[in-house]
Amino acid sequence: MTDIASLNPGARQSLKKAIFNRRMLICVFTGFTSGLPLYVLIQLVPAWLRVEGVGLAEIGFFALIGFPYTWKFVWSPIMDRYTLPFLGHRRGWMAVTQLALLVTIGSMGFIKPELSIWTVASLAAAVAFFSASQDIVLDAYRRELLPDIELGLGNAIHVQAYRLAGLVPGSLALILADFFPWQIVFVVVALFMLVGLVLTLIIKEAIAEPKPPKTLREAVVEPFREFVQRQGLRAAMLIVAFLFLYKLGDNMATALSTAFYVDIGFSLTQIGSIAKFASLIAVIVGGLIGGVMMIGLGINRALWLFGVVQLVSILGFAVLSDVGANPWMLGTVVALEYLGVGLGTAAFTAFIARATNPVFAATQFALFTAMAAVPRTLANAVTGIIVEQVGWTTFYILCTVLAIPGMLLLFKVAPWDGDTEKQTPAAAQER
């Protein structure tokens, strides 16, 4: 393992360049604009529905609107194959999806859930579709932008910014909801999509002369064929299983976190201020240190170490369920959750990026992240029913148990001593 402190001056200079550059700044903004719509769906919408009197079971079934995140690889070849007549191969699609998200998110607050729950579901599904589409093009752009050595740190920064975006719908919006109508709350949240739109307008294409697939058939078939041929069928299947299971326990644990805080007695202001802002330092410090650590640790060892922290953090919710509405305990549990889950997600995303071939970045990245979203969508849909049957404490213990199989798969897909900083095929050919 590389000891960062012992690097020679030349290596330290390379490390400095890997950390402080324009690409890392772009990752901050791609993470924020990518995370905002998802947190609208998993934090703001459940809190809104619960306050308006919608039941836990119905809120749990709202997780099914996340299917676009699962199936986004179906239309990702279209975004890989075709270039819109403005802004370029990636930036044109970025602008279209970001404008659509601004409109759909802003419209949600004008609907009354108790009168038209299906209209709310339709708008939420539209947000999920445009959000998943934005993720396709942002992930592809980031993969084209970052050299292999910067994948760990760049994705760590992206993930932490992604999670920080949750402070808008999960903190600011909830505090505003105590003082303003929901219409104003959703419009304010929607306007934060302008951050991504401005980024799209000022950056350049990551590849000056992109070479998209010549036919739609090529865009559909070749990414799948290349992945299986490169990994081998058995290894490819193990990677798929790992993508399904590594974040399963974590995703289930956080699916109804806002409803959990409400049920154990916290006010919306406490949730917005303590539950979210208490995590700020843990997110920034833990995430960035984790990203720097990945330069020395490598992605494999980061998956092991950060995965353990992620698993332990789930148990904090079980403790909070027994303790009750204690503000100090809430801050501690949420800070640990953001530290562990943020680190685990950063390493997981870096693993996905490393597994892709930059030539097929959009479709392969969409396929892998969609596979990771399958358990989140299916399992989260029944979390409300599980909680109503067994209670919050047992539910979080169950989530911890479900996190173990993904850790065990690391022996096969990312062994502790097997990380020699694997290169993508394109990088290997360059050398």
- Angle of helix 194-202 relative to helix 22-39, nearest 10 degrees, comes to 150
Residue 45, pLDDT > 70, answer yes
Tens-digit pLDDT profile for residues 372-423: 777 766 776 778 888 888 888 899 999 889 889 989 999 988 888 765 544 4
φ/ψ of 79, rounded to 5, equals: -75, -25
Contacts of residue 413, defined as CB under 8 A and 6 or more positions apart, other chains included, come to 235, 238, 239, 242
pLDDT at 303: 87
Question: What is the set of domains in the chain, with CATH numbers?
Answer: 13-430 (1.20.1250.20)
Residue 128 above 80 pLDDT? yes
**Exposure of 383 in the CB half-sphere (CA atoms within 13 A):** 33
Model pLDDT, residue 324: 83
Mean pLDDT of 351-365: 81
3-state secondary structure the chain: CCCHHHCCHHHHHHHHHHHCCHHHHHHHHHHHHHHHHHHHHHHHHHHHHHHCCCCHHHHHHHHHHHHHHHHHHHCHHHHHHCCCCCCCCCHHHHHHHHHHHHHHHHHHCCCCCCCCHHHHHHHHHHHHHHHHHHHHHHHHHHHHHCCHHHHHHHHHHHHHHHHHCCHHHHHHHHHHHCCCCHHHHHHHHHHCCHHHHHHHHHCCCCCCCCCCCCCHHHHHHHHHHHHHHHHCHHHHHHHHHHHHHCCHHHHHHHHCHHHHHHHCCCCHHHHHHHHHHCCHHHHHHHHHHHHHHHHHHCHHHHHHHHHHHHHHHHHHHHHHHHHCCCHHHHHHHHHHHHHHHHHHHHHHHHHHHHHCCHHHHHHHHHHHHHHHHHHHHHHHHCHHHHHHHHCHHHHHHHHHHHCHHHHHCHHHHCCCCCCCCCCCHHHHHHC
- Find out whether 375 and 196 touch, Cβ atoms under 8 Å: no
Q: What is the pLDDT of residues 163-182, one digit of tens each?
A: 788 888 888 888 888 888 88
pLDDT at 127 over 80: yes
Decide if pLDDT at 17 tops 80.
no
Q: Are 121 and 62 in contact, with CB atoms under 8 Å apart?
A: yes
At 166 the pLDDT is 84
How sure is the predictor about 3, in pLDDT bands with cuts at 50, 70 and 90? very low
C-beta separation of 348 from 247 below 8 A:
yes
Confidence class of residue 5 from pLDDT cuts 50, 70 and 90? very low
Question: 46-92 pLDDT, tens per residue?
Answer: 888 877 776 666 676 666 777 787 788 888 888 888 888 888 888 99
Report pLDDT for 377: 67
For residue range 295-306, list pLDDT tens digits in order.
Answer: 777 788 888 988
> Residues 243-300: pLDDT tens digits?
888 888 888 887 777 788 888 888 878 877 777 666 666 666 666 677 777 777 778 8
The pLDDT tens digits for 135-151 are: 999 988 888 888 777 77
Query: Can you give the pLDDT at residue 191?
Result: 94
Question: Average pLDDT over the chain, rounded to whole?
Answer: 80
What percentage of residues in the chain have a pLDDT greater than 70? 84
Encoded tokens for 72:
């986004």
